Chain A
Amino acid sequence: AQKITQTQPGMFVQEKEAVTLDCTYDTSDPSYGLFWYKQPSSGEMIFLIYQGSYDQQNATEGRYSLNFQKARKSANLVISASQLGDSAMYFCAMRGAQGGSEKLVFGKGTKLTVNP
């Protein structure tokens, strides 16, 4: 079975500083994908970044980067130059091979608060 663990229920960061949100995963699938989503208070889940298990380089999307350490089974999200609009819940998710399904398994999330 797949499992995602996010150990930080809440994080605080000053505006313009960088912040790292932790995510560890467990799976027996040799091929899998890791995702980060942002959920503002409005409820919509916004896709941020994706890392495939066979990708050699860490994924980056603008101010977002994913620190992928396969041997440690970790996929931490790094947000550079935090903005007030980054305040939201952040979810790490995994998709495995699972016989052709796109099912995502989510962690419990981390609530990020950006202070001015």
Chain B
Amino acid sequence: KAGVTQTPRYLIKTRGQQVTLSCSPISGHRSVSWYQQTPGQGLQFLFEYFSETQRNKGNFPGRFSGRQFSNSRSEMNVSTLELGDSALYLCASSEGWVTDTQYFGPGTRLTVL
């Protein structure tokens, strides 16, 4: 099976712009979670989707949003980018049961100038 794929892999934006990141889960996986990784804050949970419904949300401002499509692919959007949004954004997928293991994609490295 192909692993989790994320596009784009690298992105450079300027403050105030918005960005959309995409994640395609492992075939058959119905749950997608997003995490932000920064040197200062480490790995932080953004949100989790299961069957097109947001199942949980982390403590991030409303500028961060996401969605999941019927084919389980997910997108996250960050509006009005700030310098502090520069990070590695990791997507993980699982079959959907809360006892399942999450498998991660390669990440999207976002730089905000």
Contact = CB atoms under 8 A, between A and B. Distances in A.
A45 B48 contact: no
Contacts of B33: 102-104
Interface in B5-61: 31, 33, 35, 42-43, 45, 48, 55-56, 58
A52 B31 CA distance: 20
A47 B101 CA distance: 8
Interface string A71-114: 00000000000000000000101010110111111111100000
Contacts of A98: 56, 98
Interface size class of B (residues with CB under 8 A): 20 to 34
A3 to B, nearest CB: 12
A100 B98 contact: yes
Given A101-B98, A104-B45, A37 B31 contact: no
Contacts of A11: none
Given A100-B55, A103-B33, A45 B100 contact: no
B81 interface: no
B99 to A, nearest CB: 7
A35 B107 contact: no
Interface in A23-73: 33, 35, 37, 42-47, 50, 52
23 contacts: A33-B99, A35-B101, A37-B104, A44-B104, A44-B106, A45-B92, A45-B104, A46-B104, A47-B102, A50-B101, A97-B98, A101-B48, A101-B56, A102-B33, A102-B55, A102-B100, A103-B45, A104-B33, A104-B35, A104-B43, A106-B35, A106-B43, A108-B42
Interface of B: 31, 33, 35, 42-43, 45, 48, 55-56, 58, 88, 90, 92, 94, 98-107, 109
